[in-house]
Amino acid sequence: MNRRLLFGFILLILVPISTLAGDKSPWETKQPFKQATLKYTISGVENGKEIRYIRGYGREVAIYHTTKTSMMGMVMINENVEISNPEWEYNFDLTNHTGSKNVNPEKYMIEEYRKLSQSEKKQVHENVAKMGTSVAEGLGGKIQLNAEKILGYSCDKVEMMGTVTYSIHNTEIPLRINSNMMGIRMVIEATSVDIGKVEDRYFELPQGIEVIMDPQSDAIARSMAKETITTLKDPEGSKKFCEEAKQEKRQFDEELTPEDKKQME
């Protein structure tokens, strides 16, 4: 598995998730609430806010990101909208009026999983259960389950490559992100979680923006899914994946200049 494939799917595996064997894949777990609105403040290299809307226990997510970036006396406005569902992931830059569309990589992961035998599915669950902590450690990080309560929710702490993330236990919903990579600092922190009704309008695509799809994205997503599931169904899959993660981390470290390493420290 090359670097693009390894890191393209690593976030699908690192998040601690339910690993009960059965017909459902590890990527079909429900979030703790049917619908919710989460509000965040953003500070650091960017300053502003973010609002995350969730529906269908996490099957649909819409993220509205509005910030200002000051650099060399200039102020840049960043307005982005991300909308995802089981089929597609959309990304809109409202400042430059551009939009892109890509296949949701989880779609092909689930399709490949469903092709497996019951014994292979069981092996996938077992490998995913083993891999969260060990892969993070292979990349120089660590995971601590139920590390802290934020806004009343128990959160898992993931430290990796200059970023500390607190996510609601057994989900990929962050409540606090503290990043310091190459001297670039950013803090994203949830200020409220409202589990009331979420209106349909937040999941409508912005009007007047052409959506462009990379013709290669579908083939890349399929390839990633096939290669990842092939590794996960192998009894030695977790070990192989972790060794590859360590190797990629070593190569990444070797490519850093002395100045880069100093900034990371």
Q: Answer yes or no: is pLDDT of 29 > 60.
A: yes
Tens digit of each residue's pLDDT (9 = 90 or more) over 10-21: 444 454 444 444
Q: Rounded CA gap, 8 and 17, in Å? A: 18
Which residue did the predictor score with more confidence, 208 or 257? 208
* Euclidean distance between the first and the last CA atom of the chain, given in angstroms as a whole number: 29
* b/e 126-143 (16+ beta carbons within 10 angstroms → b): bbbbbbbbbbbbbbebeb
The whole-chain average pLDDT of the chain stands at 82
- Average pLDDT estimate for 45-54: 95
Query: Minimum mean pLDDT among 88-97, 126-135, 191-200: which range?
Result: 126-135
Query: Minimum mean pLDDT among 3-7, 70-74, 191-195, 202-206: which range?
Result: 3-7
User: What's the residue count for the chain?
Assistant: 265
* b/e 72-97 (16+ beta carbons within 10 angstroms → b): eeeeeebebbebbbeeebbbbebeee
Q: What share of the chain has pLDDT > 90, as a percent?
A: 46
Q: What share of the chain has pLDDT > 70, as a percent?
A: 80
Tens digit of each residue's pLDDT (9 = 90 or more) over 234-246: 988 777 777 776 6
Model confidence, pTM: 0.82
Residues with Cβ within 8 Å of residue 222, at least 6 apart in sequence: 108
Tens digit of each residue's pLDDT (9 = 90 or more) over 156-188: 998 877 889 999 988 889 999 998 876 778 899
Q: Rounded CA gap, 265 and 182, in Å? A: 8
Q: Is-contact 29 56, C-beta < 8 A? A: no
